[in-house]
Amino acid sequence: MSFKVTVIGAGSVGFTKTLISDLLKVPEFADCEFALTDLNPHNLDMVHQIIAKIVAVNNLPAKVTATTDRRAAITGARYIMSCVRVGGLEAFASDISVPLKYGVDQCVGDTLCAGGILYGQRNIPVILEFCKDIKEVAEPGAVFLNYANPMAMNTWAANAYGGVQTIGLCHGVQHGAHQIAQVLGVADSELDYVCSGINHQTWYIDIRAKGRKIEKDELIAAFEAHPVYSKQEKVRIDVLKRFGVYSTESNGHLSEYLPWYRKRPEEISKWIDMSDWIHGETGGYLRYSTERRNWFETDFPMFLEQAAKPLDQHKRTSEHASYIIEAMETGRVYRGHFNVRNNGIITNLPDDAIIESPGFVDRFGLNMVEGITLPLACAATCSASISVQRMSVEAAMTGDIDMLKLAVLHDPLVGAICTPDEVWQMVDELVVTQAQWLPQYKDAVPAAKERLAKGTVKTKDWEGAARKKVRSVEELREVVGGHH
């Protein structure tokens, strides 16, 4: 069979290599067309060389193209994947540094909290441009697979306003399940589970190890006894004890989605671990991304060397995309966890929310498991975030800066730290700082600048409560200044 798959943001060299290598592991896809597109021609050329070499070495009839013309890449595609970050590291730096001035200490800032909300404002207009192209030039009925954060907001906008069938994909569920298998001492293949909620706040509400149901107390004991996770996952373990279920997301991520663990600087060190950025370091992902901003340059020879190896040496990963496409094209059923509009799938979350929950894919498409009810504490936590997401999407669609401020005001962590006046000034500062990536706020920027000039809220020069002394915020700004 032959069809076209397009990767937008293909300059994410390592991830694109993974996605397409996984697809080429499916025998029926040997003669597909893979269209790569990115704004950065240099990165695009590197990934093109890698994928073309994989195809050539394995004597596959597949076609590989690369172009900076996104619309041309999408033309005739049956499946379109997105892994873009609008504004790059420069915008990301202000997602972290501006809220810090107001006391909001984020580890990642790409899903919720002040940084994640602004990230959504930058991404949503671009996501809708993708949808417009898909409707106009892709195959009729083309499927949009979104890997880009903020997952829920992007997928919400694409489904509600883009008019394209969009499925959001994330690997957090698989990674959390791997942890659970490790602490229980079983293989990944011996663990069965139902995980449901919203992206990055998904909950393992039923766990079976070798067919035996695992209860709360056994799981707590297993995590507390683990020599590594007991130190790295303090927030997740504490939430497990209080809620009764384990969360998918990493310690650092989860700590910034909730109002309890990063609200007072003197408390933060009790809950995070500095052995790796993902466990709660202030601005950890920004530091990691900045220091590795050109990693693919040095690793490119290694990628080319790997590309010269036969595909049978590539172990297919747990990323959902290849399995979804395989199921839709061949009928081989795939069970995974997908981000889609709720519509009653989870009984105690709003219908319009983008939820992450189990489903099955076959030739008939994606079929979600309906009638799941979350534990009340999990539903309450998800509902608070969903309200923020809903307002954030509305703000991004309308360019309503007052709605944007209300979204940030209702964010759980921001609300635990900031007064309304602080939120209003912080959002003005974020919108002015990021104006070049926020076309929908063009008319709001002049007034925001005037308000900032008269600003009465005092800010502070603060690096955060848990920052590795590798680079200061100022040094990070200098490093990313020329790398959009």
pLDDT(60) > 80: yes
Nearest Cα neighbor of 23 from 328, 293, 364, 278 is 328
Q: What is the pLDDT of residues 180-201, one digit of tens each?
A: 999 999 999 999 999 999 999 9
Separation of alpha carbons 198 and 258, rounded Å: 14
pLDDT at residue 295 in the model = 76
pLDDT at residue 480 in the model = 40
Per the annotation, the verdict on 334 as an active-site residue is no
Q: What is the pLDDT of residues 271-285, one digit of tens each?
A: 999 999 999 999 999
Give Cα separations from 31 to 3, 45, 63 (angstroms). 8, 21, 7
Count of other CB atoms within 10 angstroms of residue 434: 22
Give Cα separations from 204 to 168, 186, 192, 194 (angstroms). 19, 16, 10, 6
Nearest Cα neighbor of 194 from 334, 336, 317, 365 is 336
Structure tokens at 204: 């393992």
Separation of alpha carbons 107 and 117, rounded Å: 14
Give the percent of the chain with pLDDT over 90: 90
Structure tokens at 196: 């449901």
Q: Scanning the structure block, which residue is given the tokens 């029926």?
A: 28
pLDDT(474) > 90: no
Q: What is the pLDDT of residues 81-119, one digit of tens each?
A: 999 999 999 999 999 999 999 999 999 999 999 999 999
Structure tokens at 133: 């192209």
Helical H runs in 144-258?
Answer: 151-157, 172-184, 216-225, 229-232, 234-243, 251-257
Q: What is the pLDDT of residues 342-372, one digit of tens each?
A: 999 999 999 999 999 999 999 999 999 999 9
Give the percent of the chain with pLDDT over 70: 97
Count of other CB atoms within 10 angstroms of residue 61: 9
- Three-state secondary structure call for residue 67: strand
Cβ-contact 411, 114 below 8 angstroms: yes
Q: How many helices (H) and strands (E) does the chain have?
A: 21, 12
pLDDT(481) > 60: no
Separation of alpha carbons 12 and 237, rounded Å: 33
Cβ-contact 106, 115 below 8 angstroms: yes
The β-bridge relationship of strands 63-67 and 33-37 is: parallel
> Model confidence at 1, in pLDDT bands (50, 70, 90)?
confident
Q: What is the pLDDT of residues 222-265, one digit of tens each?
A: 999 999 999 999 999 999 999 999 999 999 999 999 999 999 99
Give Cα separations from 357 to 148, 193, 248, 351 (angstroms). 18, 11, 12, 14
Separation of alpha carbons 138 and 254, rounded Å: 37
> Model confidence at 469, in pLDDT bands (50, 70, 90)?
low
Cβ-contact 43, 84 below 8 angstroms: no
pLDDT(484) > 50: no
> Active-site residue among 171, 226, 288, 484?
171
Nearest Cα neighbor of 416 from 448, 392, 384, 391 is 384
Per the annotation, the verdict on 171 as an active-site residue is yes
pLDDT at residue 483 in the model = 33
Nearest Cα neighbor of 477 from 191, 128, 98 is 98
Q: What is the pLDDT of residues 381-430, one digit of tens each?
A: 999 999 999 999 999 999 999 999 999 999 999 999 999 999 999 999 99
Q: What is the mean pLDDT of the chain?
A: 94
Q: Which residues is 168 bridged to in the sheet?
A: 146, 339
Count of other CB atoms within 10 angstroms of residue 144: 27
Separation of alpha carbons 206 and 279, rounded Å: 25
pTM above 0.85, yes or no: yes
Q: Which of 152-161, 307-316, 461-470 has the highest mean pLDDT?
A: 152-161
The secondary structure of residue 159, as a DSSP letter, is: I
- Three-state secondary structure call for residue 194: strand
Cβ-contact 384, 197 below 8 angstroms: no
Phi, psi of 215 (to 5 degrees): -95, 165
Q: Which residues is 247 bridged to in the sheet?
A: 203
Separation of alpha carbons 184 and 189, rounded Å: 13
* H/E element, 63: strand 63-67
Between 251 and 468, residue with greater pLDDT: 251
> Active-site residue among 257, 261, 285, 441?
257
pLDDT(436) > 80: yes
